[in-house]
Amino acid sequence: MLRLYNPSPRETEVEVVFGKPPARVWRARLDETEVEELKADGSLKLKLEPYKVETLKLEF
């Protein structure tokens, strides 16, 4: 699991760069329930809403 937090009052774009590309990545809820599968190679670009925690489930 990877959790990201945007403490800013503005939407922020981030890029997560992986040392080893994950086999699968899902957007998940805080309780770790999978919501949506995302495409990621060696990196993943996301937009984080203001004051929001984003949870990603990674499978290597």
Beta strands in the chain (DSSP E): 2-5, 12-17, 24-28, 34-38, 43-48, 53-59
Q: Classify strands 24-28 and 43-48 as parallel, antiparallel or unpaired.
A: unpaired
pLDDT for 5-49, tens place per residue?
999 999 999 999 999 999 999 999 999 999 999 998 899 999 999
Please tell me the pTM assigned to this model: 0.87
Distance separating alpha carbons of residues 56 and 5, to the nearest angstrom: 11
- pLDDT of 41: 86
- pLDDT of 22: 95
